[in-house]
Amino acid sequence: MDSIELKRFWEKVKEELIGTLPESVHPWIYSLEVSGFDKDMLTVVTGQAMARDWLRKNHTEQINSIIRKLSKNTNAQINIIYDLNAAKQIKKETEKIHKKEVEKQLKEQAMENLSYMQSYANLNLKYKFENFVVGPNNKFAHAAAMAVAKKPAGKYNPLFIYGNAGLGKTHLMQAIGHYTIFNNPKLKVKYTKTDDYINDFISNSRKTNNSVENMAKFNKKYTDIGIILIDDIQFLESKEKSMERMQHTFDTLYNKGKQIVITSDRLPTEIPKLTEALASRFQMGLMVELTPPDFDTRKEIVKKLAADNDIKAEEDALNYIAKNFSNNVRELEGAFTKVCAYAEINNKNFTLSLAKEVLKCKENEKNLTFNTITNVTSSYCKVDINDIKGTARNQKVSVARQLAIYLCRELTNQSFEAIGEFFNKKHTTIMYAYEQIKNKVNTDKELAIDIREIKQALKVI
Ligand code: ADP
Ligand code: MG
């Protein structure tokens, strides 16, 4: 028995003693502090000599039988010692343990409540802000989600998050939910997938023939809350009745001053047959886009995956994965998990050669050089390669140079120093050029098209 178990055992014994022995001896029972249970001997200490004498003389048999019953040891017996100082000391320790236990219990209880609330709200425990890696592609969406979580129904209502599949829309949306449950537990959170909403609506209509009473019940289910998270709203496409109902839900929530967060894989205007009324409601608050992460962010994501799962992966293996899965974070994670699984099953280390063997990415065989990248950029931009590598500063040349530098960094993951050597420039100049493009790539549509076309010419996408 460790000391906590011993204290617990003694608490049980004491409880039975109080229930069995006459009230006149209760104060003496309370004066007993447990100090050890060695072999068959349960030793207790008291600071009152009378307690020891009286209990020993009159109740030894009763005490022993209770101890034997509770410890399931038929030879167990009590040994009462009188020692004022020891009794005081043990009492102090017991109080300390008791306080710790109570605190621990309270904490466990709180955690249980939280995870109950989280599962009730229908959230995935992984999708929290702490687990979301912020990069240039998502920093605006992340900041907006954070602002909504901190101050629901404030400036951004509704918050409309859009972007291609696998870029973190659901993650970011649910992060708002977790944050709220943790920091603002009185506010009720509901996460619903749009197709679940539609199915619920249809089955409810069938069962109840749209009776007013039942529709009101349905409505209440989606509006009697503080924050609603509606995922993948594009599934509303062409479903007129469901759109009508959604508009109702939206208006009720909005008018009650509740926060609405919506995700979609496209803009409201691109959802087939979405009513004008709904489209304009969705655009009323703030719309934020998620775009594919750049190399550094992808690297950060796989590094975090390795750290969180306690996996020792070779740096080059992580680079290889980050380099080859660039359009979709879900696929990036999938590639990482696949290599992990393979390493574990075959009892191998997570190395670059294993990653190559498992993932067999085509691009890797390509091994692009600075020269090829710069050549292709030069002919795409119609700027001579010598000018790109030279010092001319006119607009056209500067842009081509920045593009070539950006692509060299993105596609080869070589250091700024190495790129600088190739371009005959200082690494700080290279870094600056790279940052210029990186900062614009998510907002400047034409630039994004240029990059995509050069990448296509290089056959990396
Ligand atoms: P979407 O809803 O846009 O299709 P998800 O939110 O389901 O995408 O994200 C797909 C996977 O990628 C999830 O496992 C998610 O945790 C992960 N993910 C996406 N973006 C990030 C990020 N910035 N940091 C960490 N993980 C991310
Ligand atoms: Mg999603």
Distance 434 CA to ligand 2 centre (A): 31
Distance 247 CA to ligand 2 centre (A): 22
Atom of ligand 1 nearest to the CA of 329: 12
Atom of ligand 1 nearest to the CA of 165: 4
Residue 365: the pLDDT is 44
Atom of ligand 1 nearest to the CA of 133: 24
- Least distant ligand from the CA of 330: 1
Residue 364: the pLDDT is 45
Read off the tokens for 437.
């493009």
Atom of ligand 1 nearest to the CA of 134: 23
Distance 137 CA to ligand 1 centre (A): 13
Tell me the pLDDT tens digit for each residue of 176-186: 999 999 998 88
* Residue with CA closest to ligand 1 atom 20: 168
* Residue with CA closest to ligand 1 atom 21: 168
- Least distant ligand from the CA of 173: 1
Rounded-to-integer distance, Cα 288 and Cα 263, Å: 10
Helix 370-381 and helix 416-423, axial crossing angle in degrees, nearest 10 = 60
The letter for the amino acid at 355 is A
Residue 90: the pLDDT is 83
Residue 246: the pLDDT is 95
Low-confidence ranges of the chain (pLDDT < 70): 210, 362-367, 413
* Residue with CA closest to ligand 1 atom 13: 330
* Contact partners, residue 42, CB within 8 Å, separation at least 6: 10, 13, 34, 36, 67, 71, 76, 77, 78, 79
Bridge partners of 82, per DSSP, are: 46
Atom of ligand 1 nearest to the CA of 132: 24
Residue 292: the pLDDT is 85
263: Cα within 13 Å, side-chain hemisphere: 26
Distance 333 CA to ligand 2 centre (A): 15
Tell me the pLDDT tens digit for each residue of 206-222: 877 767 787 888 889 99
* Contact partners, residue 105, CB within 8 Å, separation at least 6: none
Ligand 1 pocket, mutate which of 123, 161, 171 (most atoms under 8 A from CB): 171
Give CA angle at 174 (169, 179), nearest 5°.
130
Burial of 267 (0-12, 13-18, 19+ CB in 10 A): middle
Residue 88: the pLDDT is 87
146 and 129 in contact (C-beta within 8 Å)? yes
Distance 267 CA to ligand 2 centre (A): 15
CA trace torsion 425, 429, 430, 432 (10° rounding): -170
- Least distant ligand from the CA of 136: 1
- Least distant ligand from the CA of 172: 1
**Pocket of ligand 1 from Cβ distances under 6 Å:** 127, 131-133, 138, 165-171, 301, 329-330, 333
- Least distant ligand from the CA of 164: 1
Residue 151: the pLDDT is 96
Rounded-to-integer distance, Cα 145 and Cα 198, Å: 25
Distance 50 CA to ligand 2 centre (A): 73
Residue 40: the pLDDT is 93
- Least distant ligand from the CA of 194: 2
Tell me the pLDDT tens digit for each residue of 405-422: 999 998 886 778 889 989
What is the chain's mean pLDDT, rounded?
Answer: 91
Distance 42 CA to ligand 2 centre (A): 60
Distance 288 CA to ligand 1 centre (A): 15
Bridge partners of 441, per DSSP, are: none
Residues with Cβ–ion distance below 5 A, ligand 2: 169-170
44 and 79 in contact (C-beta within 8 Å)? yes
| Residue entry with tokens 């289910």 | 221
Phi, psi for 33 (deg, rounded to 5): -120, 135
Residue 68: the pLDDT is 95
Distance 120 CA to ligand 2 centre (A): 19
* Residue with CA closest to ligand 1 atom 25: 132
Rounded-to-integer distance, Cα 187 and Cα 109, Å: 19
Bridge partners of 45, per DSSP, are: 33, 81
Distance 292 CA to ligand 2 centre (A): 14
Atom of ligand 1 nearest to the CA of 265: 3
Q: What is the 3-state secondary structure (H, E, C) of the chain?
A: CCHHHHHHHHHHHHHHHHHHCCHHHHHHHHCCEEEEEECCEEEEEECCHHHHHHHHHHHHHHHHHHHHHHHCCCCCEEEEEECHHHHHHHHHHHHHHHHHHHHHHHHHHHHHHHHHHHHHCCCCCCCCHHHCCCCCCCHHHHHHHHHHHHCCCCCCCCEEEECCCCCCHHHHHHHHHHHHHHHCCCCCEEEEEHHHHHHHHHHHHHHHCCCHHHHHHHHHHHHCCCEEEEECHHHHCCCHHHHHHHHHHHHHHHHCCCEEEEEECCCHHHCCCCCHHHHHHHCCCEEEECCCCCHHHHHHHHHHHHHHCCCCECHHHHHHHHHHCCCCHHHHHHHHHHHHHHHHHCCCCECHHHHHHHHCCHHHHHCCCHHHHHHHHHHHHCCCHHHHHCCCCCHHHHHHHHHHHHHHHHHHCCCHHHHHHHHCCCHHHHHHHHHHHHHHCCCCHHHHHHHHHHHHHCCCC
* Residue with CA closest to ligand 1 atom 23: 133
Rounded-to-integer distance, Cα 137 and Cα 167, Å: 10
256 and 223 in contact (C-beta within 8 Å)? yes
Longest Cα–Cα distance of the chain, Å, equals: 108
